[in-house]
Structure 1
Amino acid sequence: MSLAPWLDACPVVAILRGIRPEEAETVGAALLAEGLTILEVPLNSPNPLDSIRRLHAAFGERALVGAGTVTSEDEVAAIARAGARLMVTPHCDPALVLAARARGMVACPGFFTPGEAFALLAAGADALKLFPAEAASPAVLRALLAVLPKGTAVLPVGGIGADNIPAWKAAGAAGFGVGSSLYKPGDTAATVSEKARALRRSLVAS
């Protein structure tokens, strides 16, 4: 499995931090209707495995459903059983990349330094999450891409929204992890749709 076709369709990972299982399907449907098909449920959300199961059951092959804030091999195994096909970590841990790939999942681990990036790529990471992006800049991303293997997909995460996507895209970002600019606890499906449309407009304009 590859992340590239999903990013080609829409380069946004919708980070649904805090989502509850009973709202996962309606929010997921709203995102898919706006063309956002990569859905991440962070494991520090309420009953995250249930939300992952529901999203996977509802949207199957139409969406790439995964888990974020994955920090242990036991969690990798648990999200795989729940139907996740994408694993995202907040940190550099090559062992988690190996565990995810062994289960057929796409691995997008977090990094912040060139050394971490190269270690994760050596372990087989499909893409890299630059986190926290607020502590970096598009100029930092441009410098990183100058030394990373050609074609490395880097997705800035943290503080990403419609206002700064164009600058990150110009620096070479292959995609973006977007949290509260897309969804925060309490948002209705209609609110999520509106936020998604704003993000899509920024992508088209950039």
Structure 2
Amino acid sequence: MSLAPWIDACPIVAILRGIRPEEVEGIGAALLSEGLNILEVPLNSPNPLESIRRLHAAFGERALIGAGTVTSEDEVAAIARAGARLMVTPHCDPSLVLAARARGMIACPGFFTPGEAFALLAAGADALKLFPAEAASPAVLRALLAVLPKGTAVLPVGGVGAETIPAWKAAGAAGFGVGSSIYKPGDDAAAVTAKARALRQAIDAA
């Protein structure tokens, strides 16, 4: 399993922090209708494993369903059982990469320094999450990509929205993790559809 085909189709990871199980199908359908097919449920959301199960049941054939804010090997096992095929962490922990890969999942761990990036790649990370991106800059990403192995996929996460995507893309970002600019608690399907459309337009323009 590879992240590349999903990123090629649409380079946005929709981070659904705070979503509730009873709304995931409606929000998921809205995102897929706009071509966003990578859906991440952070584990600090209400009943996240049930949300992952429902997304997997409803859209598992058409979307890459993942879990974010994963911080332990027990959580890796739990999200795998729930149907997640993508594991995202907020930090550098090579053991979690190994645990995810052992279960056939795509691993996109968080990093902030070159040392962390190389350690995660050595463990088998499929892609890297630059986090918190708002504490870095597109210039930092450009410098990192100059020393990381050619073809390394780096996705900025944190403060990314339609207005910042062009600069990150120009610096070499392979994709983008988008949180409140795509969904925040209280948003309905119509609001998410409008946000998704604006993000797709920003990417197309970039």
> Shared fold by TM > 0.5?
yes
Which bracket does the TM-score occupy, shorter chain normalised? over 0.9
Q: Does 1:126 align with 2:117?
A: no
Correspondence for 1:172: 172
1:26-41 paired onto structure 2 within 5 Å? 26-41=26-41
List structure 1 runs of 4+ shifted beyond 4 angstroms.
Answer: none
Give the aligned CA root-mean-square deviation in angstroms: 0.2
> After superposition, what is the alpha-carbon deviation per residue over 1:60-103, rounded to whole angstroms, capped at 9, x for unaligned?
22000010000000000000000000000000000000000000
Count of equivalent residues:
206
SS in 1 for 2:129: strand
- In 1, the alpha carbon distance for the partners of 2:79 and 2:123 equals 20
User: Which structure 2 residues correspond to residues 1-206 of structure 1 after superposition, within 5 A?
Assistant: 1-206=1-206
- Separation in 1, partners of 2:99, 2:75: 10
Shift of 1:2: 0.1
Q: What is the alpha-carbon distance in structure 2 between the residues aligned to residue 25 and residue 52 of structure 1?
A: 10
Q: Percent identity?
A: 88
Q: Which consecutive residues of structure 2, in runs of 5 or more, have no partner in the other structure?
A: none
Give the 3-state SS of the residue equivalent to 1:61 in structure 2.
Answer: coil
- Cα shift readout 1:154-206 (whole Å, capped 9, x = no counterpart): 00000000000000000000000000000000000000000000000000000
Structure 1: unaligned runs, 5 residues or longer: none
How far apart, in 1, do the equivalents of 2:61 and 2:179 lie?
23
Q: Distance in 2 between matches of 1:101 and 1:205?
A: 35
Length-normalised TM-score, structure 2: 1.00
Amino acid at match of 2:148: L
Cα-to-partner distance string for 1:18-58 (whole Å, 9 max, x where unaligned)? 00000000000000000000000000000000000000000
